Amino acid sequence: MTSSLTLTQLLFKLPTEYLRPLRKRGSFSMISMTHDSIDLDLVDKTIELIPEDAWTQVRQVIVTALVDNMPGSVVERLTDFCTNFDRAEEILYDYYQLPDKQQDLIVDAFKIMGAANCLELLNALELSNSQQ
């Protein structure tokens, strides 16, 4: 199912998305920095807009951004050292590499970076160009 929205449109629509009640369901994520509810409808819409051949690029950019936004204590839990950012990126990249982890990647990005920041990052990749 292809969505008629682009990532840019989804980003600009974001404030109105949060006026609706959130759809809540359990979702395992490797990193849990917040217990705030994530709008899983927005996660699903975001995933729909990412072309299958773009997931490697998306994973690389999001994992780097996740580690850049992680507190040292989380990096330390992943790597045993609070300054081992390169190893944290390797661990997360390996974890999110499986296709069934795509939703977890976006959920974790929303939790750590916020939905708007994640959508801005994805929009900067100009993924819609690769869909055409």
Could you report the per-residue pLDDT of 57-116, keeping only the tens digit for each?
999 999 999 999 888 888 999 999 999 999 999 999 999 998 899 999 999 999 888 899
Q: Which tokens in the block code for residue 74?
A: 């989380």
Amino acid at 4: S
- Tell me the domain boundaries of the chain: 7-20+38-131
Asked if 7 and 54 count as a contact pair (C-beta separation under 8 A), the reply is no
Sequence-distant (≥ 6) Cβ neighbours of residue 2 within 8 angstroms: 48
Tens-place pLDDT, residues 27-52: 334 444 443 678 889 999 999 999 99
